[in-house]
Structure 1
Amino acid sequence: MSRVMCRPTQPLKNVPSSPSGQREMVRPKGKVVLVMGATGSGKTRLSVDLATSFPSEIINSDKIQVYEGLDVVTNKATKEEQRGVPHHLLGTQNPNTEFTASDFCEMASDAIECIRQREKIPIIVGGSNSYIEALVERFGGRYEWCCLWVDVSMPVLHSYVSQRVDEMLGGGMVGELRPFFKPNGDYSRGIRKAIGVPEFDAYFRREALVNNETRMRLLNDAVRDVKRNTCLLACKQLGRIHKLRSVKGWNIHRVSATCVFQKHGQEANAAWNTLVAHPCASIVSHFLSSSSNASSSRRLPSTNQP
């Protein structure tokens, strides 16, 4: 597994430390922004908005989007959606291998240091909260982090997820999935863990053996299962965020995007800027301008944090 190695170039700061008058060299903490939320909540959009407002690069922390392939099924950000912002660990790994949390921590840590060497801010975004949690635990005292949570009420999000799956179906989801079907495929490893691959197993096994009516029923069943399992994933992701906040004591800045998803067109874009993008930019601006010696767990201003 190839990896870019970068030497940290963060300048050192002299501080008095010993009775003898000697001065120790200590490295100021680097700053990292984390963007969390359930699938479909707008995490990617927010991360790109922030990266175009501050000198930043994005590190993907979605355990399925890290693999090559299934761009439609895994809803990877397109080049247009990336808006020229460098993205790391997005579609870079062999889809047939297992990319673990340990692998992520190692490669994300390298990416963070490379981004900091370029004097930019690392923005880590993705729905795999277990990866983010493992990375933050690995941070130790080296980094100061600001965590943003884009929240959408579950009924509204479930409706949106259902609509998005229908759009994926029209965008070539079945054709994209077909090469990943293997009669003896292992759905517990690599990209085949992605929602969509196991759900379409029965359809691909039988599509050439049944009539049109049965084929359509199998297709509808597969799409129904994709929608259901995506909603279950969203609930699981939300539960993990609540655990990080209430049990682990993370200072997570919640911003509600529910109203955005209840609007359309320009009204939705205006609501996104007012309710999500601008408040989050304000939080990040305060975080970046504050002393690097302060605790990463302190409260920052947020217009709609409960």
Structure 2
Amino acid sequence: MGATGTGKSPAEIVNSDKMQVYKGLDIVTNKVTEEERRRAPHHLLGFVDPNVNFDSIDFRRHASIAVESIVRRNRLPIIVGGSNSYIKALVNDDVEFRSKYDCCLLWVDVSLPVLHSVISERVDKMVEAGSVDEVREIFDPKADYGRGIRHAIGVAEMDRFL
């Protein structure tokens, strides 16, 4: 939000969530909805094969390309997500990126009781939306839950249930 002329409209989102980069599990990874994507273009969302490991170096390479494309079109890139290692790799570890762009980092903080309440409500909504069926589709009792999208919170936890 902001006053007229502050640059809200020409913004594009660059996803920096470690699990949302993967194709699939849209409910479990809490990807933005199609309606939300229509409000602002999103990049690096659901484009990686779910069985491949995508690390901070991969993110840095893809995010740099996305940001460059957005800036070339005179739009504002906003990097959004909770994976601090991805942000660190881009902003702190990439000297070229740091020399080209000024960055403003915003950290959203909330008290633990409020956070727990919000997360509990979110999980209930995810279950209602079909997260169990979504995980069932990729269920494999021999799967490596430390690789790819199976590393998402909630997937390994459903193993015993499934």
Whether the 8 Å contact between 1:180 and 1:197 is mirrored in structure 2 is no
Question: Which digits, 9 at most, give the CA deviation of each residue in 1:120-154, with x for residues without a partner?
Answer: 11100000011001100212322111111222111
1:114 paired with 2:69, answer yes
Q: Which has the higher strand share?
A: 1
Percent identical pairs in the alignment equals 57
Q: Which of 148, 156, 160 in structure 2 is aligned with 1:190? A: 148
Q: TM-score, normalized by length of structure 1? A: 0.49
Task: Report matched runs for 1:141-180 at 5 Å.
Answer: 141-180=99-138
Alignment gaps of 5+ in structure 2:
none
Whether the 8 Å contact between 1:72 and 1:171 is mirrored in structure 2 is yes
Partner of 2:84: 129
Q: Secondary structure of 2:27's partner?
A: coil
Question: Which digits, 9 at most, give the CA deviation of each residue in 1:277-299, with x for residues without a partner?
Answer: xxxxxxxxxxxxxxxxxxxxxxx
Q: Secondary structure of 1:122's partner?
A: strand
| 1-structure distance, mates of 2:115, 2:22 | 25
Call closer, same or farther: CA 1:52–1:185 in 2, change over 3 Å.
farther
Task: Report matched runs for 1:1-306 at 5 Å.
Answer: 53-137=8-92, 138=94, 139-204=97-162
Q: TM-score, normalized by length of structure 2? A: 0.91
Alignment gaps of 5+ in structure 1:
1-45, 205-306
Ranked by relative contact order (alpha carbons within 8 Å, sequence separation 6 or more), the top structure is 2
Q: Secondary structure of 2:108's partner?
A: strand
Displacement after TM superposition at 1:108 (Å):
0.3
| 1-structure distance, mates of 2:82, 2:158 | 23
| 2-structure distance, mates of 1:104, 1:134 | 8
| 1-structure distance, mates of 2:152, 2:69 | 29
- Larger Cα Rg: Structure 1 or Structure 2? 1
Whether the 8 Å contact between 1:95 and 1:190 is mirrored in structure 2 is yes
Displacement after TM superposition at 1:52 (Å):
8.0
